[in-house]
């Protein structure tokens, strides 16, 4: 919204509705440059949070601090140069020089190209296939913004093409975010039962698919003894371990919170025991690296069953995997 207002004021100055002088021209162009940098900084943060659900709050805050530095440097240097040498940036007709447009677009281009490359790289991974729509939306934002901004600068300075594009993509992002709220577990960030139903409706001719059920041991005792906050903490730790385990395999894995303290993995593999082993190793690693102290032990029991990919046999396979999981739980 801030950029829309700034761009509208810029159009008024450009058309001399607001008196066009060195101060007003520099003011609106400074505003556009700063807000554009902040806008694309925000796009970068949104893209990272959307495509890396495993990020912790500390990692997000650290990333935000690093990415703010170029924006702050641009704000300070432009302000100083505009104040000390305004004629350097404007020609005799009070139009910005080419160097200004380079500075205006430099930081946004760096942010936007980095986002595109990173999203493309993550979107190609098999374990991210179920979230391909999110990656495509984020990836489309970046080249689209460059094209819209270039079209406004070089073809129609008086038409707010860039603002129109931003409005359109914000609508897409909003709709996608609402869809994610419906299909994502709010605590762990994993797929929920709604997304599982969608997954089961997909056509597939895969072989060697396995359903792996994961259950947190003594979860009720953790809740009853230490409270629901600690129970949530335990669930988030286990979900983080599951995400990390999935990232080790170059295979298709659907991961969801099945309900309560139960998680489900649907894996295309010939060796489901390797997936179970990797989950155990990642859980041990997460426990060893956990922040703060815990007065309880976190462990998980797992069981798996072969599934032929037919939706009509899904419940039976879940029941078999559940049974094996509880057998493993009684042995622990």
The per-residue pLDDT for 99 is 87
The per-residue pLDDT for 132 is 67
The per-residue pLDDT for 316 is 94
Q: Which of 300, 251, 250 is nearest to 276 (CA)?
A: 300
Look at the chain and count its residues: 332
The per-residue pLDDT for 263 is 96
**Helix count and strand count (H, E) for the chain:** 12, 4
List the strands of the sheet with 253-259, edge to edge: 253-259, 262-268, 209-216, 300-307
The per-residue pLDDT for 302 is 94
Instruction: Identify whether the C-beta of residue 255 lies closer than 8 Å to the C-beta of residue 243.
Output: yes
- Ordered domains of the chain (ranges, CATH): 2-183 (no CATH), 193-331 (3.30.70.270)
The per-residue pLDDT for 177 is 66
The per-residue pLDDT for 180 is 67
The per-residue pLDDT for 44 is 82
d(C-alpha 327, C-alpha 195), whole Å: 28
d(C-alpha 154, C-alpha 324), whole Å: 65
Q: Which of 159, 136, 164, 151 is nearest to 50 (CA)?
A: 136
The per-residue pLDDT for 205 is 62
Provide the terminal-to-terminal Cα distance of the chain, rounded to the nearest Å.
57
What are 269's two structure tokens?
Answer: 């593999």
The per-residue pLDDT for 170 is 67
pLDDT in tens, the chain (332 residues): 777 788 778 778 887 888 888 899 899 889 988 888 888 888 788 777 766 766 767 788 888 899 999 999 999 999 999 989 888 888 888 888 888 888 888 888 888 788 788 877 777 766 566 566 667 776 776 677 777 777 776 775 656 676 677 667 767 766 766 766 677 888 888 889 988 988 888 766 667 789 999 999 989 888 888 888 888 888 989 998 998 888 888 777 899 999 889 999 999 888 899 999 999 999 988 888 776 666 778 889 999 999 988 888 899 999 999 999 988 888 76
């Amino acid at each position: 919204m801030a950029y829309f207002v700034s761009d509208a004021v810029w159009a008024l100055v450009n058309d001399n509705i607001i008196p066009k002088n060195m101060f007003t021209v520099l003011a609106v162009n400074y505003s556009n440059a700063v807000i554009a940098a902040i806008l694309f900084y925000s796009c970068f943060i949104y893209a990272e949070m959307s495509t890396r659900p495993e990020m912790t709050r500390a990692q997000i805050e650290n990333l935000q601090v690093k990415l703010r530095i170029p924006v702050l440097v641009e704000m300070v240097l432009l302000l100083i140069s505009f104040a000390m040498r305004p004629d350097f940036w404007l020609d005799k007709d009070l139009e910005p020089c080419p160097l200004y447009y380079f500075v205006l677009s430099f930081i946004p281009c760096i942010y936007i190209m980095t986002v595109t490359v990173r999203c493309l790289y993550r979107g190609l991974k098999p374990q991210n296939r179920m979230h391909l729509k999110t990656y495509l939306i984020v990836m489309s934002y970046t080249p689209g913004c460059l094209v819209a901004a270039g079209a406004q600068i070089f073809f129609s300075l008086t038409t707010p093409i860039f603002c129109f594009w931003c409005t359109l993509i914000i609508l897409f992002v909003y709709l996608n975010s609402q869809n994610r709220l419906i299909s994502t577990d709010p605590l762990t960030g994993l797929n929920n039962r709604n997304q599982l139903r969608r997954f089961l409706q997909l056509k597939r001719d895969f072989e060697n698919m396995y359903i792996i059920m994961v259950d947190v041991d003594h979860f009720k005792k953790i809740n009853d003894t230490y409270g629901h906050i600690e129970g949530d903490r335990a669930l988030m730790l286990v979900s983080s371990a599951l995400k990390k385990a999935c990232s080790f395999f170059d295979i298709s894995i659907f991961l969801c919170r099945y309900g309560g303290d139960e998680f489900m993995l649907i894996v295309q593999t010939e060796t489901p025991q390797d997936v179970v082993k990797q989950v155990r190793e990642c859980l041990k690693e997460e426990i060893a690296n956990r922040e703060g102290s815990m007065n309880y032990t976190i462990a998980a029991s797992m069981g798996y069953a072969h599934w032929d990919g037919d939706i009509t046999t899904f419940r039976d396979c879940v029941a078999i995997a559940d049974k094996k999981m509880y057998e493993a739980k009684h042995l622990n």
